[in-house]
A and B are shown apart, each in its own frame.
Chain A
């Protein structure tokens, strides 16, 4: 049976509605993209809880900061390219420097925006958010993980980044899945290679493990949904067993999950590492599925990287 497919962004608006109905003082600030990000659902259910500032992302972050300073849990939306890079200074100086209770939760991250092209395919956002003091970075793998990540963000005081995508992707978790801050999850146990992935690359990593199994290679798959703080214990325990690691992310190999794992390994347990992701380049227009192949981020590419890293042991 084919897995259920749903976009991570589909979790956004409806989870905010659930949070409000549980009595949590959540306000979403949006920049003219409430339909795309799905925060429109919050506006429909609780009009005073959705603040649309128009196409003004800098103001979006500032208004969210002001809302947090008057006691509200503020979420910002927009697309990841505008919601992080365009407002980096606002997130840095107004939100993170003051450790405000603002959640940066844009959608349409990575190459999953497909045909919109390289201008809109944000593949640097994890790096930008990860480097900020006080910021935590969550990259949910599927719709259910996204629901959990949004709840976790709302429950966690201070700045949290939640990265969501546009495309429908297979669900790897069961309904009701809960996630913990700072934890990685072993989704498949193995002994020859550790595949540490996040976001929509989790599904590709699980498929890669199947491809490898057919060749007699045992791959462990770890969901590092929390890129910061990174669950180093789980990753190091895995690499101590397997002796090598592949990272996979829908993001540049510089500064994101691959960068974080490289820093961890270099400091604590040097081991061969291959990083699957955007190889220091911008994206281009095509379907999401075509782009996964074009940029060597599909299951076959992860399996290839696994064989290469095993050969380096």
Chain B
């Protein structure tokens, strides 16, 4: 996909996210919308080697969503990529659905690990990266974390380990939207400069605007190609709720579904935004 097509696809993913959370009546729109461009660049920008027809292909790259509550972003992306029918998005969080409130790798193709309890994805990704190296594989492992998630101690256990083992086939992305459930991350418990922290742990650090398709795509490509003996982290500056004016930069939209009127407005804004491009 070219840049314009990618932007258009990110818009489609955002529409899917709003529709599915509204239909479910619960879920996490804010952190799903902030991550939509990152997800789109990974799956449609040629960064992640994957095949919807063969989700378990040995030579695939792995992506796992450490911030599992952004499941709507993952599901929308996987559906748009053809892992399962788009109509199934309407079953999110419902009885017998494969689209669980948080990703379940036993149920849905394309989900590499079951996540949702925060702080664990980086360890799993590091284990995968090590396992792939043991297998002689050239594949890369990507994981998307939240910035609030970086308050979990296990993240830093994993950060130390991945650098110590020189897991340069690992790329972590932090969706740095500066908001968590209780408010601004800097107010609740500031992690200070995340880039500095990862750098001090021995990581190669990239920073970019995570809602700028051109920037995120270029940064993902650089991080994937960098096999410098260090794991890579992209601190992606994003806006929570990106694309829906009344959700943008509002902690209150972390885990709340829009009502009918709000959904209509959100979809109108997203459609108008897409047409303007």
Most chain B CB within 10 A, of A48, A56, A70, A98, is at A70
CA A68 to CA B116, docked complex, whole Å: 19
Distance in angstroms between the alpha carbons of A93 and B121 in the assembled complex: 11
Asked if residues A63 and B127 are in contact (CB atoms below 8 Å), the reply is yes
Contact in complex: A67, B114 (CB < 8 Å): no
- How many Å lie between the Cα of A62 and that of B62 in the bound state? 15
Checking B114, B135, B154, B158 against A70 with a beta-carbon cut-off of 8 angstroms, the contacting residue is B135
Q: Which of B114, B116, B123, B135 is most buried by chain A, counting CB atoms within 10 A of its CB?
A: B123
Question: Judging by beta carbons under 8 Å apart, are B123 and A71 in contact?
Answer: no
B161–A94 CB distance below 8 A:
no
Q: Is the CB of B123 within 8 A of A61?
A: yes
Judge if B177 is at the interface, Cβ distance under 8 Å: no
| Given A27-B134, A59-B157, CB of A99 within 8 Å of CB of B128 | no
* Alpha-carbon distance between A98 and B105 when the two chains are bound, in angstroms: 6
Closest-CB distance, A53 to chain B (whole angstroms): 5
* Min distance, Cβ A46 to any Cβ of chain B, angstroms: 11
| B131 & A66 in contact (Cβ 8 Å cutoff) | yes
With A54-B161, A66-B128, A93-B116 as known contacts, state yes or no: A71 contacts B135, CB within 8 Å: yes
Whether A67 lies near B131 (C-beta < 8 A) is yes
Q: Is A280 an interface residue (CB 8 A)?
A: no
Q: How far is the CB of A137 from chain B (nearest CB, A)?
A: 21
Cβ contact of A63, chosen from B105, B113, B161, cutoff 8 A: B161
Decide if A89 touches B117 in the complex (CB within 8 Å): yes
Q: How far is the CA of A27 from the CA of B127 in the complex (A)?
A: 11
Chain A residues, Cβ within 8 Å of B160: 54, 56, 59
| Cβ-based interface call for B191 (8 A) | no
Determine the distance from Cα of A98 to Cα of B117 in the docked complex, in whole angstroms. 13
Q: Specify which chain B residues have a CB less than 8 angstroms from the CB of A71 in the assembled complex.
A: 131, 135
What CA separation (Å) do A58 and B116 show in the bound complex? Answer: 15
Residues 230-254 of chain A: 1 if any B CB is under 8 Å from the residue's CB, otherwise 0? 0000000000000000000000000
With CB as the reference atom, state the residue of chain B lying closest to A55: B157
In the bound complex, do residue B135 and residue A62 qualify as a contact, i.e. CB atoms below 8 Å apart?
no
CB of B104 closer than 8 Å to a CB of A? yes
The residues of A that contact B128 with a CB separation of less than 8 Å are 66-67, 69-70
Docked pose: A56 CA to B124 CA in angstroms: 14
Q: Within 8 Å of chain A (Cβ to Cβ): is B132?
A: yes
Q: Give the residue name and chain of the A residue nearest to B137 (CB).
A: A70
Q: B119 to chain A: closest CB distance in Å?
A: 8
* In the assembled complex, A8 has its CB within 8 A of some CB on chain B: no
Kindly identify which residue among B105, B114, B129 contacts A66, using a CB–CB cutoff of 8 Å.
Answer: B129
Q: How many B residues, CB 8 Å from partner?
A: 34
Check if B106 is an interface residue, CB within 8 A of chain A: yes
Interface size class of A (residues with CB under 8 A): 20 to 34
> Hey, which chain A residues are within 8 Å of B122, CB to CB?
62
* B46 at interface, CB cutoff 8 A: no
Check B38 for interface membership: any CB of A closer than 8 A. Answer: no
Q: B134 CB to closest chain A CB, in angstroms? A: 6
Is A97 at the interface (CB under 8 A from chain B)?
Answer: yes
Q: Does B70 contact A (CB under 8 A)?
A: no
Known: A53-B161, A98-B106. A66 touches B127 (CB 8 A): yes
Q: Report the bound CA distance from A72 to B154 in whole Å.
A: 22
Residues of B within 8 A of A68 (CB): 127, 131
Binary contact track B129-144/A, C-beta < 8 Å → 1, others 0: 1111011010000000
CB pair A65 B124 closer than 8 Å: yes
A70 to B121, CA, bound (A): 15
Q: Tell yes or no: B153 within 8 A of A by CB.
A: yes
Complex partner residue of B120 from A51, A74, A90, CB under 8 angstroms: A90
Residues of chain B within 8 A of A61, CB atoms compared: 123
Bound: A94/B124 CA distance, A = 8
Are B124 and A69 touching (Cβ within 8 A)? Answer: yes
In the complex, chain A residues whose CB is within 8 Å of the CB of B120? 58, 62, 65, 90, 93-94
Q: Is B185 an interface residue (CB 8 A)?
A: no
Q: CA of A94 to CA of B158 in the docked complex: distance in angstroms?
A: 15
B126 beta carbon closer than 8 Å to chain A: yes
Is there an interface contact between A62 and B158, defined as CB atoms closer than 8 Å? yes
Contacting residues, chain B, for A65 (C-beta < 8 A): 113, 120, 123-124, 127
**B125 at the A/B interface (Cβ < 8 Å)?**
yes
Task: State whether the Cβ of B269 lies closer than 8 Å to any Cβ in chain A.
Answer: no
Q: Interface centre among B62, B104, B112, B130, by most A CB within 10 Å?
A: B130
B126: chain A residues within 8 A (beta carbon) = 59, 62-63, 66
Q: Kindly list chain A residues whose C-beta atoms are within 8 Å of the C-beta of B105.
A: 98
Ranked nearest first, the 5 interchain pairs of A and B with the lowest CB-CB distance are A66-B127, A62-B123, A70-B131, A59-B157, A56-B157
By a beta-carbon cutoff of 8 Å, the part of chain B in contact with chain A is 62, 104-106, 112-117, 119-132, 134-135, 137, 153-154, 157-158, 160-161, 164
Q: List 8 A-B contacts (CB under 8 A).
A: A29-B127, A59-B126, A59-B161, A62-B122, A68-B131, A70-B127, A90-B154, A98-B105
Assuming A70-B127, A70-B131, A70-B132, what are 13 further A-B pairs, CB within 8 angstroms?
Answer: A56-B161, A58-B153, A65-B120, A66-B125, A69-B113, A69-B128, A70-B137, A72-B131, A93-B120, A94-B114, A94-B120, A97-B104, A98-B114
